[in-house]
Amino acid sequence: MFPTNLQFLTIQIRLLYIMTIQPRKRFAQHWLRSEKALNKIVQAAELSDSDRILEIGPGTGILTHRLLPLAASVVAVEIDRDLCQKLVKKIGRVENFLLLQGDILSLDLETNLAQFPTFQNPNKVVANIPYNITGPILEKLLGTIAQPVANTYDLIVLLLQKEVADRICAQPDSKAYSSLSVKIQYLAKCEFICDVPAKAFYPPPKVDSAVIRLRPQLIEPQANNPKQMETLVKLGFSSKRKMLRNNLKAVIERDRLLPLLEKLKVNPQVRAEDLSVQQWVALANSIGEVIINN
Ligand code: SAH
User: Could you tell me which residues are beta bridge partners of residue 77?
Assistant: 56, 100
* CATH fit for domain 5-216, picks 2.30.110.10, 3.40.50.150, 3.30.460.80, 2.40.110.10: 3.40.50.150
Q: Which atom of ligand 1 is nearest to the CA of 103?
A: 23
pLDDT the model gives residue 293: 53
pLDDT band of residue 1 (cuts 50, 70, 90) is low
**Cβ pair 159, 37 in contact under 8 A:** yes
Q: How far is the CA of 23 from the centre of ligand 1 (A)?
A: 10
* Ligand 1 pocket, Cβ-based, cut-off 6 angstroms: 27-32, 56-60, 62-63, 77-80, 83, 103-105, 128, 130, 133
Using one digit for the tens of pLDDT, what is the confidence trace for 227-246? 999 999 999 999 988 999 99
The residue whose C-alpha atom lies closest to atom 9 belonging to ligand 1 is: 130
Instruction: Please give the Cα distance from 291 to 283 (Å, whole number).
Output: 12
Helix (H) or strand (E) holding 291: helix 277-293
**Cβ pair 181, 213 in contact under 8 A:** no
Structural domain spans, the chain = 5-216, 226-293
Q: How far is the CA of 21 from the centre of ligand 1 (A)?
A: 13
pTM of the model: 0.94
User: Which residues are within 8 A (CB) of 90 and not within 5 positions of it... i.e. 6 or more apart?
Assistant: 17, 60, 61
pLDDT at 2 over 70: no
The residue whose C-alpha atom lies closest to atom 20 belonging to ligand 1 is: 79
| DSSP 8-state class, residue 146 | S
Compute the average pLDDT of residues 42-50: 98
Using one digit for the tens of pLDDT, what is the confidence trace for 112-153? 999 999 999 999 999 999 999 999 999 999 999 999 999 899
Please give the backbone phi and psi of residue 287, each rounded to the nearest 5 degrees, phi first: -65, -40
Burial 190-214 (b: 16+ CB within 10 A, else e): beebbebeeebbbeeeeebbbbbbb
Amino acid identity at 78: E
Average pLDDT, the chain: 94
Largest CA distance in the chain: 74
Q: How far is the CA of 59 from the centre of ligand 1 (A)?
A: 5
pLDDT band of residue 4 (cuts 50, 70, 90) is confident
Give the CATH superfamily of 226-293. Answer: rRNA adenine dimethylase, C-terminal domain (1.10.8.100)
